Amino acid sequence: MIRFFQKTFVIAEFEIIKIFRDPTEILTRAVQPALWLLVFGQVFVRIRITGAVNYLDFMSPGILAQSTLFVSIFYGIAIIWERDLGLTHKFLATPTPRAALVLGKALSAGVRCIPLAAIVYLLALLLGVQMNGSPFALLGVLLMVILGSVVFSTFSLIIACLVKTRERFMGVGQLMTMPLFFASNAIYPLALMPPWLQAISKVNPLSYMIDALRELMTGIPGPFGLSLDFLVLFLCSMGLLALGSVLYKRVIT
């Protein structure tokens, strides 16, 4: 068990070294959430779809979750890239447990999202969003960002292992991100959705992630509650990691 986590952290450690070799990537990734906050948010703040709650307060956690989703959901492309090179073959021929390889990579995707989260936080502060600065809240946000990206990056890895080529993966990836995003409570509340969309949102892990971030960051309570949010994300990540560990070796055949 200890060895399992050791191996997991070794994989994550080197993935993280690689991420910080190219910090420009983090900046380019921050452009999209910035646009949402600075353009979309500035318009929608005027229509007050969230009632008494300031719309920017409402959407900032949603945008944070969205940027996590967009970064993590394309993680599979790296998996295919490593396979094309031959790296995956070598990793799989070492005695490292498959689950440690998959979890290590997923955790590194989580770390990849942290600087992004910090940028979104900063932007929201500049826009005057009232945010909870208590260490407990910040820690909760950090945990949720990592948990969320573990869920979406592992989901992405599973897709990569099934479709196997970069072209097909890009197609599927693009196909999935927008529906996942729109069928969530990121930029409008659950209560405003037609019933069918509400039903979909309630089985979308992204909604639970946003629900938690919203409560932790701005104190706006959501319909689900923090414990349910964390439970859903945790169970999702466990299920996906188990599936991903079984499927990972299929990427090379």
Residues 224-235 as b or e (16 or more Cβ within 10 Å = b): bebeebbebbee
Residue 13 or 243: the one with the smaller Cβ distance to another protein is 13
Q: Are 122 and 65 in contact (CB under 8 A)?
A: no
Interaction pattern, residues 178-197, with another protein; x per rule: CB under 8 A: --------------------
Residues 192-212 as b or e (16 or more Cβ within 10 Å = b): ebeeeebebbbebbbbbbbbb
Residue 65 or 161: the one with the smaller Cβ distance to another protein is 161
Interaction pattern, residues 73-112, with another protein; x per rule: CB under 8 A: -----------xxxx-xxxxxxxx----------------
Residue 213 or 251: the one with the smaller Cβ distance to another protein is 251
Residue 142 or 252: the one with the smaller Cβ distance to another protein is 252
**Residue 253 touching another protein (CB under 8 A):** yes
**Residue 21 touching another protein (CB under 8 A):** yes
Q: How far is the CB of 159 from another protein (least distance, A)?
A: 21
Q: How far is the CB of 164 from another protein (least distance, A)?
A: 13
Q: How far is the CB of 11 from another protein (least distance, A)?
A: 8
Q: How far is the CB of 105 from another protein (least distance, A)?
A: 13
Report which DSSP code applies to 93.
T
Residue 6 or 174: the one with the smaller Cβ distance to another protein is 6
Residue count, binding to another protein (CB under 8 A)? 25
Give the whole-angstrom CA distance, residue 8 versus residue 102.
8
* Cβ neighbours of residue 149 closer than 8 Å, sequence gap 6 or more: 68, 71, 72, 106, 109, 110, 112, 113
The window from 18-26, 54-62, 118-126, 220-228 that contacts another protein (CB under 8 A) reads 18-26
> What HEC string does 135-189 produce?
HHHHHHHHHHHHHHHHHHHHHHHHHHHHHCCHHHHHHHHHHHHHHHHHCCCCCCC
Report which DSSP code applies to 46.
T
Residue 10 or 197: the one with the smaller Cβ distance to another protein is 10
Best CA proximity match to 158, nearest among 240, 71, 96, 93? 240
Q: How far is the CB of 82 from another protein (least distance, A)?
A: 8
**Residue 250 touching another protein (CB under 8 A):** no
Q: How far is the CB of 88 from another protein (least distance, A)?
A: 9
Q: Report residue 110 as tokens.
A: 């989580």
Q: Report residue 214 as tokens.
A: 């919203």
Residues that bind another protein (CB under 8 A): 3, 6-7, 10-11, 14, 17-18, 21-22, 84-87, 89-96, 249, 252-253
